[in-house]
Homo-oligomer: A and B are copies of this chain.
């Protein structure tokens, strides 16, 4: 007899619009969710994938499908000019916060993601990260130093490595009791899985 619901592992890159669309729906899941930000670039390099591949797919994703998918859940995406950029600052800050207060880390993830995808702020901008860390109770100087610490950098590198073990290769990606689900369109099926 299984006495508790399996947690859902939620993998995402802070630069990913579909990761954002997924993050905004995690409260609809009936199971606990473990948030795992990672760097798609590191994963793509490991598995041999190219991001967005060609102009047609890139245009479809950025200008048609991601905004349309967001509008279906009432959100108006604002993509920054430089998209896609790397997301090292928020990924590192997430794990620095997570080490100190895991609940605050999830709140931070939602806050920072909204700034990127609803306000069009850059994922490379450390000031956005600092503002959101302050909003969940941390001192600005502490988080600015924290994201540069060797411990934080090693933690993110280890998390990127760890994402490869359950064969994660995209964002968002979910693992439920060993079963993989790729894409925000899979969210309606997660509660019943496992």
Contact = CB atoms under 8 A, between A and B. Distances in A.
Contacts of A189: 72
A44 to B, nearest CB: 9
B59 A48 contact: no
Given A64-B180, A65-B182, A169 B49 contact: no
A189 B185 CA distance: 12
Contact of A57 (B49, B57, B64, B72): B49
A169 B57 contact: yes
A167 interface: yes
A141 interface: no
Contacts of A50: 53
A56 interface: yes
A48 B53 CA distance: 8
Nearest to A189: B72
Interface residues of A, number: 23
A169 B64 CA distance: 14
Contacts of A47: 54-57
Contacts of A182: 60, 65
A185 B185 CA distance: 7
Contact of A54 (B49, B54, B64, B65): B49
Given A59-B167, A64-B180, 4 more contacts: A47-B54, A50-B53, A54-B169, A60-B167
